[in-house]
Amino acid sequence: MNPAHPDPGEMLQRVRQQLILAQVRIMELEDTRDETGARLGENERLLQAALTLADQKLDEAAHADKIRADLQAQFVQLQQIQQAAHAALAAAQVRLAQAEQAIAVEKQISADLAAQLRQVRETESKLTTQLHDITAASDARQQRIGQLDVEIRAMKSSRSWRWTAWLRSLERTFRGSRS
């Protein structure tokens, strides 16, 4: 076997082996290509999502800057309102002190009026008790008068009263002549 001229069968065998190895390598490369293609698609999706997210974050940052500017303006406005509120609070405290003094005076007047009212109520209670007593006595007397009226009517309508009328008449006549 001459290395300068190899045997065609051997060469054919080598070419076949190299062809088989090349086919295997092609299949491996195709597998790698398929995997790489899938990864590339995934990477492209991730890259697109990252770009979208970056755009959103930029928009959010711009919005946050706008909100910060608005908040700063509101802060300045709130400081002005706070100063006005402090001034109003000081004025209100003065008015409150004056009102508390007026309330103290009114409480003293109310206490005096309450004492007078208690005295009036005590007097009213005593007078009411006396009135009830007098009313009860008056009612009892009215009942007694009513009973006596009934007895007098019964007596004057009796037969004996009518039969003794001439004696009473004589008595009145004699009494009138004595006086």
> For the segment 39-92, what is each residue's pLDDT rounded down to a tens digit?
888 888 999 999 999 999 999 999 999 999 999 999 999 999 999 999 999 999
Report the distance separating Cα 170 and Cα 83, nearest Å: 113
**Residue 125 corresponds to which amino acid?**
S
Place of tokens 């009612």: 139
Q: Band the pLDDT of 3: cuts 50, 70, 90.
A: low
Residue 1 has pLDDT above 60, yes or no: no
**Residue 111 corresponds to which amino acid?**
A
pLDDT of res. 6: 67
Please name which of 76, 57, 53 lies closest in space to residue 65, comparing C-alpha atoms: 57
First to last CA, the chain: 204
Which residues have a Cβ under 8 Å from the Cβ of 7 and sit 6 or more positions away?
Answer: 1
CB atoms within 10 A of CB 161: 13
pLDDT of res. 2: 57
Model pTM score: 0.34
Residue 12 has pLDDT above 90, yes or no: no
Kindly report, residue by residue over 129-179, the tens digit of the pLDDT. Answer: 999 999 999 999 999 999 999 999 999 999 999 999 999 999 889 887 776
Kindly report, residue by residue over 82-124, the tens digit of the pLDDT. Answer: 999 999 999 999 999 999 999 999 999 999 999 999 999 999 9
Concatenate the DSSP letters of all residues of the chain into one string: --SSS--HHHHHHHHHHHHHHHHHHHHHHHHHHHHHHHHHHHHHHHHHHHHHHHHHHHHHHHHHHHHHHHHHHHHHHHHHHHHHHHHHHHHHHHHHHHHHHHHHHHHHHHHHHHHHHHHHHHHHHHHHHHHHHHHHHHHHHHHHHHHHHHHHHHHHTSHHHHHTHHHHHHHHHHHHHH-
Count the alpha carbons within 13 Å of 160 in the hemisphere toward its beta carbon. Answer: 3
Report the distance separating Cα 22 and Cα 31, nearest Å: 14
